[in-house]
Amino acid sequence: MTSSRPRISKAVIPAAGLGTRFLPATKATPKEMLPVVDKPAIQYVVEEAVTAGLPDVLMVTGRNKRPLEDHFDRNYELEEVLRSKGDVHKLDRVQESSDLATMHYVRQGDPKGLGHAILCAAPHVGDQPFAVLLGDDLIDPRDPLLTHMVRVQEERGGSVIALMEVEPASIHLYGCAAATPTHTPDVVQVSDLVEKPSPAEAPSNLAIIGRYVLDPGVFEVLRKTEPGRGGEIQITDALQAMAADPTLGGPVHGVVFRGRRYDTGDRGDYLRAIVRLACEREDLGPEFRAWLREYVAGEMAGPLED
Ligand code: UTP
């Protein structure tokens, strides 16, 4: 279906959270800068936005977040050293991140919640639909979730959220959606959203993950959204109002994602992301897999006795 709606071109990446699950590593370093193999987590996220056709990226940052800006800027001194050594490969690696996208930054001030971080993007975004990618949520580059969500938004209008089926026992860690099927197998219509429900209160096992394509009407709703769970302004509460009243910028659809996703703000998931991506790398994979096989075999054989 072709659409007369404006093409989405802007991505917003909230990265102003405190990252307390990763202390002390995140005391002076943003969690988004922690390396996943040899690239900081945030670079995968910006690459994903660019691959989905969104070259204009606004990062919402806060205190201690300077390294994020430096990473996407030129480093002339380092470039000059590499150039003088003729190390073209490393020079390319250094320039990759500064040539990737048109980067913009805004500071959140106090981290008053994800909804508040998104609201900080309002002057930059204007009145066009836009994407939101959480800076600590890594979607495997081979599973083009955001590209699909942009297409769904362009066809259906309103807002689109990413959902993933989780074990009922884990639903209290996420926002949760009540949804009905549409004619498209992985697209659902969202009727209600609950932030971090207990398993008994949860309307489904569909958890909200860190990708959104939002109607700009969300800003007006966020301005009126009172602090919710944890005393923070929650995007889930704003989307719930939009799902209940489509005149506010709805309808709200969900894309059910069945690909590979890692929450790099969680220590276990961060380790899984590194192991998996390292195993699959052409340059590092063969040697690393061989070592891992040996290590796991040793673990299975049980601890060595003295
Ligand atoms: P999290 O819930 O992971 O919170 O935020 P956090 O503070 O970053 O991490 P922990 O739980 O203390 O370890 C989800 C996303 O929303 C952003 C975060 O940077 C992260 O990408 N966020 C959250 C903001 O930008 N501002 C906020 O006020 C809160």
Dist. CA 216 → ligand 1 center (Å)? 22
Q: Which residues line ligand 1 at a C-beta cut-off of 6 Å?
A: 14-21, 60, 108, 111-114, 116-117, 134-136, 265
| Residue 293 sits in the same domain as residue 195 | no
Write down the pLDDT at residue 228: 83
Testing ligand 1's pocket by substitution, the residue of 12, 18, 270 carrying the most ligand atoms inside 8 A of its CB is 18
| Residue 57 sits in the same domain as residue 193 | yes
Dist. CA 114 → ligand 1 center (Å)? 7
Please name the helix (run of DSSP H) or strand (run of DSSP E) that holds residue 207, with its range, or none.
Answer: strand 206-214
Write down the pLDDT at residue 303: 64
Write down the pLDDT at residue 249: 82
Write down the pLDDT at residue 260: 92
Dist. CA 87 → ligand 1 center (Å)? 38
Please name the helix (run of DSSP H) or strand (run of DSSP E) that holds residue 145, with its range, or none.
Answer: helix 145-156
DSSP string of 230-295, one letter each residue: GGS--HHHHHHHHHH-GGGT--EEEEE--S-EEETTSHHHHHHHHHHHHHH-TTTHHHHHHHHHHH
**Assigned domain for 3 exists:** no
- Which residues, 6+ apart, have CB-to-CB distance to 49 below 8 Å? 11, 13, 55, 57, 101, 131, 133, 146
Which tens digit of pLDDT belongs to each residue from 19-28? 899 999 999 8
**Assigned domain for 5 exists:** no
| Residue 46 sits in the same domain as residue 104 | yes
| Residue 241 sits in the same domain as residue 143 | yes
**Assigned domain for 296 exists:** yes
Distance between CA atoms of residues 270 and 45, nearest Å: 14
**Assigned domain for 4 exists:** no
Write down the pLDDT at residue 63: 77
In this structure, the residue with its CA closest to atom 2 of ligand 1 is 17
Dist. CA 112 → ligand 1 center (Å)? 10
Is residue 1 predicted with pLDDT exceeding 80? Answer: no
CATH code, domain with 30 = 3.90.550.10
Is residue 305 predicted with pLDDT exceeding 60? Answer: no
- Residues of the chain with pLDDT > 90, as a percent, come to 81
**Assigned domain for 218 exists:** yes
Instruction: Give φ, ψ of 243 to 5 degrees.
Output: -70, -35
Can you count the helices (H) and strands (E) in the chain? Answer: 11, 13
The number of domains in the chain is 2
Dist. CA 69 → ligand 1 center (Å)? 18
Report, as an integer, the average pLDDT of 2-25.
85
| Residue 257 sits in the same domain as residue 275 | no
Which tens digit of pLDDT belongs to each residue from 185-235? 999 999 999 989 999 999 999 999 999 999 999 999 999 999 887 889 999
| Residue 129 sits in the same domain as residue 271 | no
Three-state SS across 80-120? HHHHHHCCHHHHHHHHHHHHCCEEEEEECCCCCCHHHHHHC
Which tens digit of pLDDT belongs to each residue from 56-95? 999 999 877 789 999 999 999 999 999 999 999 999 999 9
Dist. CA 289 → ligand 1 center (Å)? 33
Write down the pLDDT at residue 2: 46
| Residue 96 sits in the same domain as residue 220 | yes
Please name the helix (run of DSSP H) or strand (run of DSSP E) that holds residue 153, with its range, or none.
Answer: helix 145-156
Is residue 306 predicted with pLDDT exceeding 90? Answer: no
- Which residues, 6+ apart, have CB-to-CB distance to 138 below 8 Å? 36, 41, 44, 45, 261, 262, 263, 264, 273
**Assigned domain for 107 exists:** yes
| Residue 185 sits in the same domain as residue 275 | no
Testing ligand 1's pocket by substitution, the residue of 13, 105, 114 carrying the most ligand atoms inside 8 A of its CB is 114
Place of tokens 């096989």: 293
- Which residues, 6+ apart, have CB-to-CB distance to 94 below 8 Å? 75, 78, 79, 82
Neighbour tally for 231: CB within 10 Å? 8
Place of tokens 């590209």: 147
Write down the pLDDT at residue 299: 81
| Residue 106 sits in the same domain as residue 84 | yes
Write down the pLDDT at residue 4: 57
pLDDT band, residue 298 (cuts 50/70/90): confident
Dist. CA 83 → ligand 1 center (Å)? 38
CA-based nearest residue to 41, from 115, 142, 141: 141
State the residue range of the domain holding 247: 10-265
| Residue 258 sits in the same domain as residue 290 | no
**Assigned domain for 2 exists:** no
| Residue 261 sits in the same domain as residue 284 | no
Which tens digit of pLDDT belongs to each residue from 109-128? 888 999 999 999 999 999 99
Closest atom, ligand 1, to C-alpha of 15? 19
**Assigned domain for 233 exists:** yes
| Residue 102 sits in the same domain as residue 218 | yes
Dist. CA 246 → ligand 1 center (Å)? 28
Closest atom, ligand 1, to C-alpha of 116? 28
In this structure, the residue with its CA closest to atom 9 of ligand 1 is 19
In this structure, the residue with its CA closest to atom 5 of ligand 1 is 17
Distance between CA atoms of residues 1 and 156, nearest Å: 10
Closest atom, ligand 1, to C-alpha of 21? 13
